[in-house]
């Protein structure tokens, strides 16, 4: 069997499908920017423009004092920065119980859902001349990978009892574990397990990471549910709840798009989402005509046109977040505008959300995360009773 045929079979097994979409709403005002000419391989990214949170067409937002964060019980849109100070909860504090962190690996040969692909180094893809929203990638082929998983178990957990949990992308994420130590001790979030899962390697279209995180379906949630969580329960004597209201997802960039997809397509499994620099743009590959804009469809069609789901969402974007970082020129590769659209449609539909626009910051900015993560986690879990008794 030749490579192209093998890859076609692999992709057919791994990619998901969703219902049809609708027309595009009018976008906010676009920034003036110069971009490099398209080329076959990915070039160095041009510096993104700096966006003004008061740009016409952007959502109206409350500016909080420099160095502060929005209240953890506040809904709506907020602007933070331009300087950032790490929250006290982001460092180990004396006298605070520290959880145990377990690490293990998974091989691609062990996965029925993701046997593995890789895009050839130094290549990217070429936009379809008849459809700028479609990227033709001819250099992706089956390939193995090793995946790392870190499992955080708080000291307060009683082994063998049902417990809430959060699943994180692009792990391991030690910042998440430190924040949870402190927030659990302060009783600002429930006692919970954290499962921080690394991607299967690569980035964007044609890569294993791109296939996992940017595909618009419940496939990644199914992978976590059927291949990762059973191993966690078996190896570490934990009972992970099946209650979707006691489950959260988190990630940054495409990992945030994956977090949103997990909760959107498998709302029976997850109700809480935490997103930094969400890639709610057109990164999906292989192309799916039912979602021609990839994750851009979240704000273009899915959220506006579908019944409200029981979701609680915290999300962020930076003023220097990504803008046209690759060869595609489809008007669906602006991270700031994508997240502005998300805030608008979530508000229009009455979702419980908090949107943070950070000034003087970049894509997945570490300084922003160090200041905002504790309040973001508290917001995501704010309506969850700390003493709730889980029955499933």
DSSP string, 178-242: HHHHHHHHTTSS---EEEEE--SS--STTSHHHHHHH-SSSHHHHHIIIIIHHHHHHHHT-EE--
Burial class (CB in 10 A: 0-12, 13-18, 19+), 339: buried
Q: What is the pLDDT along the chain (392 residues), one digit of tens a residue?
A: 444 444 444 444 444 433 333 333 333 443 333 333 333 444 566 789 999 999 999 999 999 999 999 999 999 999 999 999 999 999 999 999 999 999 999 999 999 999 999 999 999 999 999 998 999 999 999 999 999 999 999 999 999 999 999 999 999 999 999 999 999 999 999 999 999 999 999 999 999 999 999 999 999 999 999 999 999 999 999 999 999 999 999 999 999 999 999 999 999 999 999 999 999 999 999 999 999 999 999 999 999 999 999 999 999 999 999 998 788 888 999 999 999 999 999 999 999 999 999 999 999 999 999 999 999 999 999 999 998 989 89
Residues contacting 130, CB < 8 A, separation 6+: none
- Residue 145: φ, ψ to 5°: -150, 165
CB 109 within 8 A of CB 387: no
Residues contacting 131, CB < 8 A, separation 6+: none
Residue 228 lies in a domain: yes
* Number of structural domains found in the chain: 1
pLDDT of residue 4: 43
Tell me the whole-structure pTM to 2 decimals.
0.88
3 state SS of 380: helix
Cβ count within 10 A of residue 47: 10
Show the tokens assigned to 258: 């994956």
Residue 89 lies in a domain: yes
- CA trace torsion 180, 186, 187, 192 (10° rounding): 20
Residue 182 lies in a domain: yes
CB 254 within 8 A of CB 279: yes
Residue 48 lies in a domain: no
Residue 190 lies in a domain: yes
Alpha carbon separation from 288 to 11, 20, 184, 260, 318 (Å, rounded): 12, 10, 42, 18, 29
Alpha helices in the chain (DSSP H): 3-14, 174-185, 208-214, 219-223, 229-236, 254-265, 297, 303-305, 335-349, 366-380
Residue 244 lies in a domain: yes
pLDDT of residue 44: 65
Show the tokens assigned to 40: 């076959």
Indicate if the alpha-carbon torsion angle 134, 136, 142, 144 is positive or negative.
negative
Residues contacting 140, CB < 8 A, separation 6+: 7, 117, 118, 119, 120, 205, 206, 207
Residue 34 lies in a domain: no
Beta strand residue intervals within 253-307, DSSP E: 272-276
pLDDT of residue 42: 45
Print the domain residue range for 248.
3-17+54-380
CA 96 to CA 84: how far, in whole Å?
24
Alpha carbon separation from 107 to 113, 208, 220 (Å, rounded): 12, 13, 16
Here the CATH number for the domain that contains residue 263 is 3.40.50.1820
Residues contacting 194, CB < 8 A, separation 6+: 151, 152, 165, 166, 167, 168, 173, 176, 177, 180
Residue 87 lies in a domain: yes
* Length of the chain measured in residues: 392
């Amino acid at each position: 069997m030749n490579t192209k045929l093998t890859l076609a079979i692999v992709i057919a097994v791994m990619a998901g499908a969703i219902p049809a979409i609708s027309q595009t709403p009018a976008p906010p005002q676009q920034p003036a920017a110069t971009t490099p000419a398209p080329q076959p391989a990915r070039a160095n990214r041009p510096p993104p423009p700096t966006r003004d949170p008061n740009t016409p067409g952007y959502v109206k937002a409350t500016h909080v004092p420099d160095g502060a964060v929005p209240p953890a019980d506040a809904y709506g849109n907020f602007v933070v920065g331009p300087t950032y100070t790490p929250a006290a909860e982001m460092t180990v504090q004396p006298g605070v119980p520290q959880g145990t962190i377990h690490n293990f690996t998974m091989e691609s040969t062990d996965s029925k859902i993701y046997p593995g692909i890789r895009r050839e180094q130094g290549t990217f893809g070429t936009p379809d001349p008849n459809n700028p929203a479609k990227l033709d990638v001819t250099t992706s082929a089956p390939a193995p990978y090793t995946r790392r998983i870190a499992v955080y178990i708080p000291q307060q957990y009683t082994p063998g009892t049902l417990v809430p949990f959060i699943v994180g992308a692009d792990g391991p994420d030690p910042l998440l574990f430190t924040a949870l130590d402190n927030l659990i001790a302060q009783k600002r979030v429930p006692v919970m397990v954290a499962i921080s899962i690394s991607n299967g390697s690569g980035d964007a279209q044609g890569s294993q990471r791109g296939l996992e995180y940017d595909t618009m379906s419940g496939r990644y949630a199914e992978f976590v549910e059927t291949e990762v969580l059973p191993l966690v329960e078996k190896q570490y004597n934990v009972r992970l709840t099946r209650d979707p209201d006691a489950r959260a997802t988190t990630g940054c960039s495409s990992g945030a798009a994956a977090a949103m997809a997990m909760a959107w397509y498998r709302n029976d499994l997850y109700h809480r989402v935490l997103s930094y620099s969400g890639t709610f743009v057109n990164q999906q590959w292989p192309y799916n005509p039912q979602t021609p804009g990839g994750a851009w469809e979240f704000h273009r069609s899915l959220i506006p046109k579908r019944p409200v789901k029981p979701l609680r969402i915290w999300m962020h974007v930076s003023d220097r977040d990504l803008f046209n970082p690759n060869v595609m020129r489809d008007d669906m590769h602006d991270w700031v505008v994508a997240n502005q659209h998300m805030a608008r449609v979530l508000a229009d539909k009455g979702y419980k959300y908090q949107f943070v626009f950070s000034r003087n910051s970049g894509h997945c900015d570490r300084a922003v995360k160090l200041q905002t993560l504790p309040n973001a986690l508290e917001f995501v879990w704010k309506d969850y009773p700390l003493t709730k008794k889980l029955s499933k």
